Amino acid sequence: MLEIKNLSYTTSEGKTILKNINLSVDEKFVAITGPNGSGKSTMAKIIAGIITPTEGRIILDGIDITDMSITERANNGVSFAFQQPVRFKGITVRDIISIAAGRDVSFDEACEYLSEVGLCAREYITREINDSLSGGELKRIEIATAFARSTKLTIFDEPEAGIDLWSFQSLIKVFERMYEQTNGSILIISHQERILSFAEKIILLSAGEIAAVGSKEDILPKLLAANEACNCRKAVN
């Protein structure tokens, strides 16, 4: 279980991004959503250890990971997939999957991970993680590496970005298989209705605070109604 207690973050310029966040994540699939600038990605990066919170604690399975480095958190079972995946010149796709898995994966194993995300493995396995790959290809490879890591908490920052040609249903199937393999939690930052409708719990952020938390049955209809009302006002104006 992930527990976030009294979490706040203020930038060095004095701008408050998150204010006294308290929540727990014990479900299989949890989505964090909200308008741009609401603090979604900041919270995800704080959990992963990329950003240090101003206040508050982060507890994973009873262990306080707040003061741990990114590497220490990774060793304790936290994975993070960026909205814009990082490029690594000189490192092949098979290399990055082996690094993620923590061992030298075989050619066939690497092919299996790539096939899971809809890539023709033999065309990609020896390619470098560089500018020759499109954003969509990089995103799929990053999801494959997260699958290979199989940690108890995997955080995805807008995993649907750049994969328009790959169906959302395929993405969801990967998440389901990832859960079956790890029995951990998958935390997804997303605006997409199709992603939100797949989550067991939805956390709505607004202006750095939790505006609502609940099941998709409780939260999603309210979000859709609010979006529809907003679109109507824009049409009138």
C-alpha to C-alpha distance for 114 and 124, rounded to whole angstroms: 8
End-to-end CA distance of the chain: 46
The reported pLDDT for the residue numbered 150 is 77
Phi, psi dihedral angles at 235 (to 5 degrees):
-65, -40
Residues 148/113, Cβ–Cβ less than 8 Å: yes
Residue 234: the pLDDT is: 46
Find how far residue 161's CA is from the centre of its chain: 11
Q: How confident is the model at residue 96 (pLDDT cuts 50, 70, 90)?
A: confident
If 0-12 CB within 10 Å is exposed, 13-18 middle and 19+ buried, where does residue 9 land?
Answer: buried
Identify which of 41, 168, 67 has the alpha carbon closest to the alpha carbon of residue 117. Answer: 168
Region 219-231: mean pLDDT is: 69
Higher per-residue pLDDT: 39 or 227? 39
Supply the mean pLDDT for the chain. Answer: 83
| Residue 157 to residue 38: CA distance in whole angstroms | 14
The structure's pTM equals 0.80
The pLDDT-based confidence of 220 (bands split at 50, 70, 90) is confident
